Amino acid sequence: MVVRRFCDLNVQESSSYVDNLENIKQLVSLGYTVVALNRHYGLPKKEKEKNKRSPNEISTAEEAKKFVAQAKQLHDRLKADIEKLRSNQVGQSKSNTENDLVIPEKFQLLSRLTFDLDHVDQLSYLRSHSNKTIMAAFDVIAVNPKCEKCFRSLMEGKLDFDIVSFTMADRLPFRLDHHQVGLGTSKGLVFEIAYTTAIKSQSLRKYVFSNSQNLTSKTKHGKGIIITSGGESKMDFRAPPDVANLSNLFGLKGSFGLDAVSNTAMKAVTHALLRRDTFKGAVKVEYVGENTCEGEIKNEEGSPKKKMKV
């Protein structure tokens, strides 16, 4: 029997280290084994919009270096503290640990980078060397397209990323169609629905439900849909079975609701791993020693495909 691994791939990063750690501990207690801490990245605006600089905007190499360093420092510190909690569990009797938090052996803390794509010119900026360095520093990459042209470009594969994210609490800026959504899922992309706004704001709830149902209707029975919290504090999170029940209001039926926080979400994690470690998800060049002049290209199954000079 295959055991599901429950994931929340959108936990908003807090400026408070304690809050970040408490959020992770809360999600572990609810049954999640994969958690992604989400940091937002602001792209430079068009020349006529320069006066509308976003709070997370990065426009210089120095800012980019600082951005990556801060994210890495936080991630490393959190992982170290989580490992300490897990180590403290070893050797303790059940009576000493049953009321304490138990960190699963396979628990994963991931880093996520999310940015809004306002216009297609930003795609060439994202493909620059400095931005590739920023993106390579994070485990999962999510993009929120703000115009139809941006969305089409993303679905056509003009940027390598993992999650398509929409602002569900507002009217979508363009119409979704089956073909484009299907094109995205065929490339291994997943589409995100974040539920926190739906449970916190009665006035915005209708937008979240209608946008989610619209998105789900453009997929094959919910294929390629993941559900995340988008939460900022402990009170924002819900256990996987509760999220699966909530998914009915998003248009997901049957097992697709549970898949959205487990199997499909894990596919996004796998897609991110392949994106980072392989070329186009199929070819991987591995370093095999200082005195070796040959490497092997491996296919997805890990078997040698052919030799190449490196």
Distance separating alpha carbons of residues 109 and 132, to the nearest angstrom: 22
- Return the closest-CA partner of residue 122 out of 94, 103, 100, 149: 149
- Angle at 95 (CA atoms; ends 92, 98), nearest 5 degrees: 90
- CA 250 to chain CA mean position, Å: 19
DSSP characters for 233-302? Answer: SGGG---HHHHHHHGGGGT--TTHHHHTTTHHHHHHHHHHHHHHHSBTTTBEE----TT--EEEEE-TTS
Instruction: Print the domain residue range for 133.
Output: 7-43+70-88+101-284
Residue 234 domain-assigned? yes
With respect to residue 51, please indicate whether it lies within any of the assigned structural domains: no
**Best CA proximity match to 174, nearest among 148, 152, 194:** 148
**pLDDT per residue as tens digits for the range 112-140:** 999 999 999 888 888 776 788 888 999 99
Q: Which two tokens stand for residue 67?
A: 């951005």
Residues 6+ apart with CB under 8 A from 51: none
Whether 1 is in a domain gets the answer: no
Is 49 within a domain?
no
Picking from 189, 287, 136, 137, the residue whose alpha carbon sits closest to that of residue 298 is: 287
Max distance between CA atoms of the chain, in angstroms, equals 65
**CATH code at 128?**
3.20.20.140
How many structural domains does the chain have? 1
Q: In which residue are the tokens 């706004």 written? A: 197
Q: How many CB atoms lie within 10 A of CB 263?
A: 17
Q: Which two tokens stand for residue 37?
A: 């801490």
- The reply to whether 126 falls in a domain is yes
pLDDT number for residue 305? 45
pLDDT reported for residue 41: 86
**Residue 295 maps to a domain:** no
DSSP 170: S
Q: What whole-number distance in Å separates Cα of residue 82 and Cα of residue 21?
A: 8
Q: Which parts of the chain have pLDDT scores under 50?
A: 97-98, 280-281, 285, 287-288, 290-301, 303-310
pLDDT of residue 132: 81
* DSSP three-state, residue 22: helix
Alpha helix (H) residue ranges in the chain: 17-30, 61-89, 94-97, 121-126, 129-136, 148-155, 178-186, 196-200, 202-217, 240-246, 256-259, 263-277
Residue 141 resides in a domain: yes
pLDDT value at position 89? 75
Over the stretch 202-220, which tens digit does the pLDDT of each residue have? 888 999 999 999 999 999 8
CA-to-CA distance for 138 and 68, rounded, in angstroms? 9
Q: Give the pairing type, strands 163-165 and 140-145.
A: parallel
256 lies in some domain: yes
